[in-house]
Amino acid sequence: MDTNVRLVKNVLKYTFGLVPIVAGLDKFTNVLTNWSQYVSEGFAGMLPFDPTTFMMVVGVIEIVAGILVLTKTKIGAYVVSAWLTCIALTLLFSWTYVDVAVRDLVMAIGAFSLAKLSEENEK
């Protein structure tokens, strides 16, 4: 594999591995932000528990996704790409935090690119 391609793949791998882990852990501490604010009122009303608990479940999923990127890069990158797309769509449907939705879609494209680079590496 070309040196530049390997560099890009590694930067993406560690970005999409570590950032979800950090964000997932922060769902338990709310140091970076109050994550519950991103749960729309309509969706919160459908939950069988409070938004804080929901965000902790989200945190566990993000931690697992990040670990998956670091250990099984291709599969993990597809998971992170799909996860970010789902988050973005949820925000777009509620028309809240549209800026975050756009950012998440851009990150989903980056994670998808990592998955495709990882496929190339397997050939």
Q: What is the pLDDT of residues 51-86, one digit of tens each?
A: 999 999 999 999 999 999 999 999 999 999 999 999
Quote the pLDDT of residue 122.
59
Query: Tokens 């970076």 — which residue?
Result: 32
- Tell me the C-alpha distance between 118 and 99, whole Å: 29
Quote the pLDDT of residue 96.
86
Number of H helices, E strands in the chain: 5, 0
- Tell me the C-alpha distance between 54 and 39, whole Å: 9
Q: Name the average pLDDT for the chain.
A: 94
- Tell me the C-alpha distance between 103 and 84, whole Å: 9
Quote the pLDDT of residue 121.
60
Low-confidence stretches of the chain (pLDDT < 50) are none
Predicted TM-score of the model (pTM): 0.90
SS3 72: coil
